[in-house]
Every structure is written in C-alpha cells, then in structure tokens.
Structure 1
Amino acid sequence: MNLQDDAPLSTSKAREADRAEQELADPKGDNLVGRSVTINRPREELYAFWRDFSNLPRFMDNIERVDVKDARTSHWVVKAPGGKTVEWDAVVTEERPGEVLAWTSSEDADVPNSGRIEFRDAIGRGTVVTATIAYDPPAGFIGKVIAKIFQREPAIQARRDLRRFKQLMETGEVATAARTHKQLEEEQG
C-alpha cells in the first residue's frame, strides 16, 4: 500500500524542502514556510472559495483587504507589527482550477513573497490543503524577530489561518475563544 505523506514538502527531513521551493514559480524570499490541514469539504469548493481573494480576510487574521484588479492581479494590504500595514501587488503565476494556485509579489512589494496553495483529495476525509510561502520580512532578521514577538510571523500565521479556514469551511464560522474588546466595551457602556 502506498501511503502519501500529507506534510508540506517544506517541512520534510529529506531533500523535499528544496523541491518545495523549486515548485514556486518565482521564489521571492529566503524564509520558507509550509503548512497543511485536512478539511472535510470537496477540493473544488475549497479552491473556489480561496480563489475569490476577497474572501481571504474572512479567515486570515493579518489581512486587512485584498483588492482584485483583474483575473490575475490583486493588491494586498496586510497588518504589520506596531499598528502599521504593508502592501503589495500579487500576480497569479500558476492556476489549475480545483488543484493549484500560485502567486508572486511585484518587484516593489513591501514584503517580497511568493507562494502556492495545493488542494489534494484525502480519500474519505475531504481535502488536504497545503500552503507553501517564501518571504523576506521587512527589516530583515530584526523584522522577523519583531514579527514573532507580535505574533505576526508568517509561520505562526499560516498555521492559524489554515485552522480558521478549516473552521469556516466546515462550520460556516470562525470560532473565537472570548469576547472581543469591542463587545466588552459595548456591554460595559
């Protein structure tokens, strides 16, 4: 029996991490992050939801908005540490509906990045969604440390975002652990 490993190539202990980076059409960034999650929904449905980039802020905590310019180009506004934002245009570099969506940032991006989302059938369990992202943090190593302190580091965010995507697609909502600050103010006010 041939068992397929659901782990992203970028986390492999073998030389598979090199292959993961090679699969990015135009790798931008020295930091490679890979995460996978199994979601109990058909891959075509998950792909269609993700492909509508305006849906991404619904489950990606750091994304303020994604403005779709045309079928291949979008403009991203993302929260950064210290209440700031970073912005870039992204171009779709590979698209196989229901299977793969890859992108790369424009040359003038605040955070150079590229990535790939793969949707693969998990027989009897739904779909394995794998995100592989290469990026360069603003301000280099110091920026990466600051982002980690503020929980804005892409490796942390990728895990959380995929977990929220799973919740949203399986239940229709993203669970929260507690009342928001705004809700608390409204109750006290």
Structure 2
Amino acid sequence: MSMVQESIEVGVPLSTAYNQWTQFEDFPRFMEGVEQVTQLDERRNHWRTKVAGVTREFDTEIVDQLPDHKIAWRTVGGDVQQMGLVTFEPLDERRTQVRLAIDFEPDGLAEKAADAMGIVDRRVKGDLERFKAFIEERGVEEGGWRGRITPGG
C-alpha cells in the first residue's frame, strides 16, 4: 500500500467545510479524474473515475463519520483497493484545516510509476486546492449530512 497525506487551510467555518465535503456527488466539480459519484445510501457511494485514459468503477463504504470531525472510508469489492480519512479542525471561527490521508494499492505498471513519481500526491494536493477554491467562492455549503456512522455499526 502507498500513502498520500495532504492538508489545506480553507477560509470557511468548520461546519461549512465539513457539510460541503459530505456532498459526495459534487466531488467531480473539484476532483481531477472523478467523473461521477453516486450516493447509494448513507454509507455507500459508487464512483466512476478516468485516469490516464483508464476508466474504473468501484464502490466505497463510509466506516466512521463524526460530524465536524472526520469521515473514514474504504473501497468494497472490485479491483480498486483504497482506504482514507479526511479530518476537519477549526483554526478560528472563519478558517478550517482539512487533512486528507489515503492508503491505496497501485494497480499495474502505469499506476505504480505514477505513484513512484509523486503524481498521486500532486493530484490529491490539487484536489484540495480546488476544494478550497470551490467552497471559498461560494462561502456556504450546498448541503450537508450530519449523521453519525460508527465503525462496525
């Protein structure tokens, strides 16, 4: 497994950043290579990505979600192996630190080479920068889900 860790400060309150992040179907608007995310239920999302001309579809399951604090997920089934955690920390009333950590298993020569060259790290950093621009431009979230999901629950 390879790990990517990136963080960014966004100029919106904690609840605004967190609420927007729970709008998974908006991810294609700021995540490079993500073509579509369909929320299947409170825990599961179906993803379609296209990276370097390769389209993949897979499902993720939220395994731990604590409003205004964290969302942890993992892939289920399929050939994509990934798990991740995004956390939210208030810096003050108007600024939030967003930290993203992803463990993934590169599949095939192209993905292994991209990982070795730091391309995955740069993509995640770019995704966070686009999230920052996305939420700061609006100033308010487009929705939010405040439910609690507990591990094994």
Shorter-chain TM-score bucket reads 0.7 to 0.9
- Say if 2:129 is the partner of 1:160: no
1:125 Cα offset (Å): 5.6
* CA distance in 2: counterparts of 1:154 and 1:114, whole angstroms: 14
Structure 2 unaligned regions, length at least 5: 140-153
Preserved contact between residue 13 and residue 93 of structure 2 (Cα < 8 Å): no
1:145 CA drift (Å): 1.1
In the alignment, does 2:3 pair up with 1:32? yes
Q: Contact between 1:38 and 1:125, CA under 8 Å: does it hold in 2? A: no
Preserved CA contact (<8 Å) 1:80 1:147: no
1:98 equivalent to 2:68? Answer yes
Return the letter of the residue paired with 1:40. Answer: G
Alignment coverage as a number of residue pairs:
139
Partner of 1:78: 49
Which residue of 2 is the match for residue 59 of structure 1?
30
| Pairwise CA distance, 1:124 | 5.7
- Higher RCO (Cα < 8 Å, 6 or more apart): 2
Residue 99 and residue 135 in structure 1: after superposition, are their counterparts in 2 closer, same or farther (change >3 A)? same
Q: Answer 1 or 2: which has greater helix percent.
A: 1
Residue aligning to 1:9:
none
Rounded Cα–Cα distance in structure 1 between residues aligned with 2:23 and 2:138: 16
What's 1:111 paired with? 80
Cα deviations by residue, 1:146-184 (Å, 9 ceiling, x for unpaired) = 5777x9x421211000001111111239xxxxxxxxxxx
How far has the Cα of 1:123 moved from its partner? Answer: 2.6
CA distance in 2, matches of 1:56, 1:44: 18
User: TM-score when scaled to structure 1?
Assistant: 0.68
Matched, 1:145 2:116: no
> Within 5 Å, which residues of 2 pair with 1:4-43?
30-43=1-14
CA distance change for structure 1 residues 146 and 39 in 2, over 3 Å: closer, same or farther? Answer: closer
Larger Rg: 1
The letter of the residue matching 2:126 is R
Shift of 1:128: 0.1
- Under a length normalisation based on structure 2, what TM-score does the superposition of the two structures give? 0.83
Distance 1:49 1:43 in 2: 10
Mapped pair 1:170 → 2:139: no
Q: CA RMSD in A?
A: 2.1
**Greater share of strand residues, 1 or 2?**
2
The one-character-per-residue Cα deviations of 1:35-72 (angstroms, maximum 9, x if unpaired) are 00000101111111111100111100110000111010
Work out the CA distance in 1 between the residues paired with 2:2 and 2:95: 30
Maintained 8 Å contact 2:85/2:101: yes
Distance in 1 (alpha carbons) for counterparts of 2:64 and 2:97: 19
